[in-house]
Structure 1
Amino acid sequence: MTAAANLDIDGRGIATITLNRPDVHNAFDDKLIAHLIALITQAKEDARTRVLLLASTGKSFSAGADLAWMRRMADASREDNLRDARNLALLMETLNSFPAPTVAKVQGAVMGGGVGLVSCCDIAIASEAAFFALSEVKLGLAPAAISPYVVAKMGVSQARRYFVSGERFSAIRAAAIGLVHEVVLAAELDAKVDHTLDLLLNNGPQAMRAAKQLVQVANPLKVSPELAQYTAGVIADLRASDEGKEGLRAFLEKSSPAWIVQN
């Protein structure tokens, strides 16, 4: 059976974690979340690791939540939904607090939790063909567990827009609002990422860790246990709500949810 994600550490100290569910556009489910936490922790604890690269196979970086997982959690208890949301928050914090520099290599669709992963990386380089969305509100939900990291990356003003609009935006727009750092032609993505990794490998490993820690300490938008608990509660309540269930039903049936007013 093919693993949903893989870790490889090369001789230079580049630890590459590759999401490998191309058939579902690298969508999240509870198993992938747990697997990614384990792989990131493994890379963190390996003394060889100097840089972490987050990549994915197929057309998409990550299309957000897996449909089967969403369907299952819609019928789960609030306690199960809280546990599930806490695990997603733990994944984001595990990546966000990774001590060595982290780089995201981004192509295709980047939705929901995929935007969260990009937000938790120090450097994000995107193909011009990439597109982004925080589309949870279209399903009667909200980008809860990822919100602290996305707000820290794109800023309050842009988050206020994209959290409530759910609209798609381009890689160029993502760069303009600070979600990604650079956009290149699709054919040049590999070369640009390799160049960025080379730049990082030319720097002192401990100095980069210390420099990264400076930013983390100075960051005014830190994730407290209280904030993590609050965001978990938001998504648990929304999933169990009539609106959340209606949004998922409409999405799965490819119909309009009841809250859409026809002109």
Structure 2
Amino acid sequence: MTESTPVPRHLLLARRHDVLFVTLNRPDTRNALAPEVVTELTQAICLAKSDAGVRAVVLRGAQGFFCAGGNVGNFQARLDADAGANDPVAARNREFGHFMQRLSALPVPVIAVVEGAAMGGGMGLACAADLVLATADAKFALSETSLGIIPAQIAPFVVARLGPRAALRLGLFGERVSGDAAVALGLVDALAADSDALDTLLAQWLTRLCACAPGANRALKPLLRRCGHGRDNESELLDEASRLFAACMRSEGAEGIAAFREKRPAAWRRSFEAEAVRP
């Protein structure tokens, strides 16, 4: 955090061991994604991207509830406006998509920590993360079609995480999943029995993460994303990968190899305790 960083009204921001903890803090709306919340989330993500010292982002919801999705209370005002040539409903929806693209493209690992429920856009946030941890009773659902709308801007990210068949099943039938079913679908990576155990689980994963060099992670994540898209020329991609490898070798690689030979922790290694990860 810097003096120039805007002070958020709807988020809690904390930085520990260079991990940025971003907590949705609108419990009166079950942390719904109102436009002002999305604006602050965008600012937080831009901060994480521009600050080379940030090693990861942890997304969570305050008071034991991840995110209820879009704020339905804001929909009527948009419907009352004339659609015209530039439909304000489409424009506002697309603004959320721009945020989702920024979140997905963030070069540092993103961890979603889900308690309570991740509904609609909240489930989209989880799908855009690189790791999803959840309590066994946390619920996930694409609830939009039950309201007569569609999960428009989160659709590519849901499909990328779950595959088209599972996305169709959840989207067309409004099914709610939790626990082992969410793990089987690939929606959740690891489960915890309750919130206390979830804190312990998050601390364990952050400790694993911080055994890895932060610069190497920033180089690897965009590379792996390019591999998955299948649009790059393979030879050009491997040429770029060789240049990234050399850059890493000449920076953090020297320390990593020295630490391995000397049987000591690398300089970037950090450990987390459960108390340090709570909102």
Same fold (TM over 0.5): yes
1:173-220 Cα offsets, whole Å, 9 max, x none, are 111111111111113000000110111011011211222122210223
Deviation of 1:81 after TM superposition, in Å, equals 1.3
1:37-48 aligned at under 5 Å gives the runs 37-48=42-53
Letter in 2 for 1:36: L
Query: What percent identity do the matched residue pairs reach?
Result: 34
Counterpart secondary structure, 2:9: coil
Structure 1 position 197 matched with structure 2 position 206: yes
Letter in 2 for 1:205: P
Structure 1 position 112 matched with structure 2 position 117: no
Bigger mean CA offset, 106-115 vs 166-175: 166-175
- The residue aligned with 2:14 is 8
Q: What TM-score results when the alignment is normalised by the length of structure 1?
A: 0.80
The correspondence for 1:61, drawn from 62, 66, 87, is 66
Counterpart secondary structure, 2:20: strand
Structure 1 position 156 matched with structure 2 position 164: yes
Structure 1 position 18 matched with structure 2 position 26: no
Counterpart secondary structure, 1:9: strand
Deviation of 1:221 after TM superposition, in Å, equals 8.1
1:16-62 Cα offsets, whole Å, 9 max, x none, are 11100111110111111111101111122123201111111013100
Could you tell me how far apart the structure 2 residues matched to 1:81 and 1:101 are? 32
Could you tell me how far apart the structure 1 residues matched to 2:193 and 2:82 are? 45
Structure 1 position 92 matched with structure 2 position 92: no
Which ranges in structure 2 are unaligned for 5 or more consecutive residues? 1-6, 232-279
Could you tell me how far apart the structure 1 residues matched to 2:204 and 2:103 are? 22
Q: Is the 8 A contact 1:62 1:110 kept in 2?
A: yes
Structure 1 position 168 matched with structure 2 position 173: no
Could you tell me how far apart the structure 2 residues matched to 1:77 and 1:155 are? 37
RMSD: 1.7
Letter in 1 for 2:102: T
Bigger mean CA offset, 126-135 vs 170-179: 170-179
Could you tell me how far apart the structure 2 residues matched to 1:88 and 1:200 are? 28
Structure 1 position 137 matched with structure 2 position 148: no
- The residue aligned with 2:239 is none
1:219-238 aligned at under 5 Å gives the runs 219-220=228-229
Letter in 1 for 2:164: V
- The residue aligned with 1:31 is 36
Counterpart secondary structure, 1:58: helix
- The residue aligned with 2:277 is none
Counterpart secondary structure, 2:177: strand
Deviation of 1:8 after TM superposition, in Å, equals 1.8
**C-alpha distance 66-48 of structure 1, shift in aligned 2 (>3 A):** same
Name which one, 1 or 2, has greater alpha-carbon Rg: 2
Letter in 2 for 1:160: L
